[in-house]
Chain A
Amino acid sequence: GDSVTQMEGPVTLSEEAFLTINCTYTATGYPSLFWYVQYPGEGLQLLLKATKADDKGSNKGFEATYRKETTSFHLEKGSVQVSDSAVYFCALSDSSASKIIFGSGTRLSIRP
């Protein structure tokens, strides 16, 4: 079945460092891809999405490009801030069931 694999955390970076969180997927058909973020004590929030191959989703300085040839959707940010500390989930749509399949999450901690 469809699945998402993302890099295990925790990931610890210094402020202003470059961030990459890897995500690969397995899917039949042409899913939409998502990154969700969960700040401490809160529910998941949609960070960005891409609905077809070569689309780039972006929000709050974060970017991810839908790469069909490598089945990847890596999350990047050029300069992270302490406020970016959170858990990040990669996800894909399961069109056959109208639901989202989430990865296991990657915890990101940013040092001042």
Chain B
Amino acid sequence: DAGVIQSPRHEVTEMGQEVTLRCKPISGHDYLFWYRQTMMRGLELLIYFNNNVPIDDSGMPEDRFSAKMPNASFSTLKIQPSEPRDSAVYFCASSPGGRSYEQYFGPGTRLTVT
């Protein structure tokens, strides 16, 4: 299996622009998680899905952030409009669910907002 795939790996954009991050989970995994990692705040869970349905979005920082999972093999995290404080590494992870809570992380997208 190719593992969790994220694109792009790096994104540089100007403040006010829309940013879309993409994730393809491991086939057969029922759960998908979006995290943000910064030096100041560490690793934060933003939102997670079960069978394509959002379960908990309490970690989404504000209305500028939105996430969708239109099917089992694709999810997006969108920031509109972007701000410099959104600069971070964004990780997607997937998990098979059931009695296994192990999560498998993608390589991350490094976002820089100037």
Q: CB within 8 Å of B: which residues of A?
A: 32, 34, 42-46, 49, 89, 93-95, 97-100, 102, 104-105
Q: Which residues of B contact A99 (CB under 8 A)?
A: 31, 33, 45, 48, 56, 101
Extra contacts, 18 of them, besides A100-B103, A105-B43 (Cβ < 8 A), are: A34-B101, A42-B107, A42-B108, A43-B4, A43-B93, A44-B91, A45-B105, A46-B103, A49-B102, A94-B101, A97-B55, A97-B56, A98-B31, A98-B97, A98-B101, A99-B33, A99-B45, A99-B101
Q: Main SS of the interface on chain A?
A: strand
B95 to chain A, nearest CB (A): 8
Contact at B33–A89, with CB atoms within 8 Å? Answer: no
Query: In the docked arrangement, what's the CA distance between A98 and B43, Å?
Result: 18
Q: CB within 8 Å of A: which residues of B?
A: 4, 31, 33, 42-43, 45, 48, 50, 55-56, 91, 93, 95, 97, 101-108
CB closest chain-A residue, reference B4 = A43
Q: Which residues of B contact A104 (CB under 8 A)?
A: 42
A104 to chain B, nearest CB (A): 5
Query: In the docked arrangement, what's the CA distance between A42 and B105, Å?
Result: 9
Set A42, A49, A105: member contacting B42, Cβ < 8 A: A105
Contact at B43–A89, with CB atoms within 8 Å? Answer: yes
CB closest chain-B residue, reference A97 = B56
Query: In the docked arrangement, what's the CA distance between A46 and B3, Å?
Result: 13
Set A34, A43, A49, A100: member contacting B107, Cβ < 8 A: A43
Query: In the docked arrangement, what's the CA distance between A94 and B33, Å?
Result: 14
Contact at A43–B105, with CB atoms within 8 Å? Answer: yes
Contact at B106–A34, with CB atoms within 8 Å? Answer: no
B46 to chain A, nearest CB (A): 12
Q: Which residues of B contact A43 (CB under 8 A)?
A: 4, 91, 93, 105-108
Q: Which residues of A contact B31 (CB under 8 A)?
A: 98-99
A88 to chain B, nearest CB (A): 12
Q: Which residues of B contact A105 (CB under 8 A)?
A: 42-43
CB closest chain-B residue, reference A101 = B45
Q: Which residues of B contact A97 (CB under 8 A)?
A: 55-56
